[in-house]
Amino acid sequence: MSIRRLPSELINRIAAGEVVERPASALKELVENALDAGACQLLIRLSAGGLDKVEVIDDGHGMAADEMALALERHATSKLPDEHIENVESFGFRGEALPSIASVSRFTLESRVRGPSTGSGQAGEGWQLIVDHGEKVSEGPAALPPGTRVKVEGLFDKVPARRKFLRTPRSEYQACLDVVRRLAMARSDVGFTFEHDGRTIIEVQPQSAPERVASLLSPELSRHGLGIDTQRGGMRLTGVISLPTFNRGMGDQQYLFVNDRPVKDRLLVGALRGAYRDLLPRDRHPIAALFLEVPTHDVDINVHPAKTEVRFHDASGVRGLIVGGLRHALEEAGHLSAAREQHAQPAAWQVEPMGMPPSSPMAPVSGDVRAELAELAGAPGQPSVWEAQAAYAPPQARAEAATAPTPNVQQFPLGAARGQVAATYIVAEAEDGLVIVDQHAAHERLVLERMRRAAGDGAVARQPLLIPEPVEMDGADCDRLEEAAGELMQLGLEVERFGSGTMLVRSVPAPLGDRVKSPALLADIAAELAELGTALSLRDRLDEVAGTMACHGSVRAGRILSVAEMNALLREMEVTPHSGSCNHGRPTWVKLAHGDIEKLFGRK
At residue 383 the predicted structure's pLDDT band, cuts being 50, 70 and 90, is very low
DSSP state, residue 177: H
Flag whether pLDDT at 505 surpasses 60: yes
φ, ψ (nearest 5 deg) of residue 458: 145, -70
Flag whether pLDDT at 521 surpasses 90: no
For range 226-235, the mean pLDDT: 91
Same-domain check for residues 72 and 176: yes
Report which residue type is found at 381.
Answer: G
Same-domain check for residues 343 and 394: no
Report which residue type is found at 568.
Answer: A
Domain with 259 in it: what CATH number? Answer: 3.30.230.10
Which stretches of 187-265 are DSSP H helices? Answer: 209-216, 221-224
Same-domain check for residues 303 and 374: no
Same-domain check for residues 463 and 530: yes
For range 465-486, the mean pLDDT: 91
Flag whether pLDDT at 290 surpasses 90: yes
Between 511 and 403, residue with greater pLDDT = 511
Count CB neighbours of 304 within 10 A. Answer: 14
Same-domain check for residues 246 and 267: yes
Between 72 and 174, residue with greater pLDDT = 174
For range 181-192, the mean pLDDT: 95
Residue 355 lies in a domain: no
Same-domain check for residues 129 and 188: yes
Flag whether pLDDT at 146 surpasses 60: yes
Residue 286, CB-side half-sphere exposure with 13 Å CA sphere: 31
Count CB neighbours of 528 within 10 A. Answer: 17
Residue 502: the pLDDT is 94
Residue 528: the pLDDT is 73
For range 285-303, the mean pLDDT: 87
For range 250-271, the mean pLDDT: 89
User: Can you say whether residue 54 is alpha, beta or left, with left for phi > 0 and alpha for psi between -120 and 50 degrees?
Assistant: beta
Tell me the residue length of the chain. 604
At residue 54 the predicted structure's pLDDT band, cuts being 50, 70 and 90, is very high
Flag whether pLDDT at 141 surpasses 90: yes
Flag whether pLDDT at 454 surpasses 50: yes
Between 401 and 432, residue with greater pLDDT = 432
Between 535 and 58, residue with greater pLDDT = 58
Give CA–CA dist 386/513, Å, rounded: 9
Q: Could you give the percent of the chain with pLDDT greater than 90? A: 37
At residue 542 the predicted structure's pLDDT band, cuts being 50, 70 and 90, is low
pLDDT tens readout for residues 564-593:
999 999 999 988 888 888 877 788 999 999
Q: Which of 204, 234, 255 is the last residue of a domain?
A: 204
pTM of the model: 0.63
Residue 357 lies in a domain: no
Residue 335: the pLDDT is 57
Q: Is the Cβ–Cβ distance between 376 and 536 less than 8 Å?
A: no
Residue 358: the pLDDT is 30
Average pLDDT, the chain: 79
Q: Is residue 417 helix, strand or coil?
A: strand
Flag whether pLDDT at 276 surpasses 70: yes
Same-domain check for residues 193 and 266: no
Same-domain check for residues 425 and 515: yes
Would strands 127-132 and 135-141 be described as parallel, antiparallel, or unpaired?
Answer: antiparallel
User: Dihedral (C-alpha) 4, 9, 15, 20: value to the nearest 10 degrees?
Assistant: -150
Contacts 24+ apart (CB under 8 A), 63-67: 63/111, 63/113, 63/127, 63/148, 64/111, 64/113, 64/124, 64/127, 65/127, 65/139, 67/111
Between 505 and 91, residue with greater pLDDT = 505
Between 19 and 210, residue with greater pLDDT = 210
**Using CB atoms within 10 A of its CB, is residue 156 exposed (0-12), middle (13-18) or buried (19+)?**
buried
Residue 358 lies in a domain: no
At residue 373 the predicted structure's pLDDT band, cuts being 50, 70 and 90, is very low
Residue 123: the pLDDT is 59
For range 151-175, the mean pLDDT: 91
Give residue 49's Cα distance to chain centre: 28
Residue 242, CB-side half-sphere exposure with 13 Å CA sphere: 26
Give CA–CA dist 171/461, Å, rounded: 56
Q: Which of 350, 378, 399 is the last residue of a domain?
A: 350
Residue 95 lies in a domain: yes
Q: Minimal CA–CA distance to 232: which of 353, 355, 334, 89?
A: 353
Residue 438: the pLDDT is 93
Residue 94 lies in a domain: yes
For range 327-341, the mean pLDDT: 68
For range 161-171, the mean pLDDT: 90
Which stretches of 209-300 are DSSP H helices? Answer: 209-216, 221-224, 266-275
Residue 356 lies in a domain: no
Give CA–CA dist 305/291, Å, rounded: 21
Domain with 550 in it: what CATH number? Answer: 3.30.1540.20
Q: Which of 315, 350, 385 is the last residue of a domain?
A: 350
Domain that holds residue 258: 209-350
Flag whether pLDDT at 109 surpasses 90: yes
Between 368 and 241, residue with greater pLDDT = 241
Same-domain check for residues 597 and 572: yes
Same-domain check for residues 194 and 107: yes
Give the Å distances, CA to CA, from 180 to 18, 42, 207, 476. 20, 11, 16, 51
Residue 550: the pLDDT is 67
Same-domain check for residues 49 and 163: yes
At residue 149 the predicted structure's pLDDT band, cuts being 50, 70 and 90, is very high
Number of domain units in the chain: 3
Contacts for 77 with CB less than 8 Å, ≥ 6 apart: 93, 94, 95
φ, ψ (nearest 5 deg) of residue 228: -120, 130
Flag whether pLDDT at 453 surpasses 70: yes
Residue 545: the pLDDT is 64
At residue 390 the predicted structure's pLDDT band, cuts being 50, 70 and 90, is very low
Q: Is the Cβ–Cβ distance between 166 and 156 less than 8 Å?
A: yes
Domain with 161 in it: what CATH number? Answer: 3.30.565.10
Same-domain check for residues 255 and 127: no
Residue 298, CB-side half-sphere exposure with 13 Å CA sphere: 15
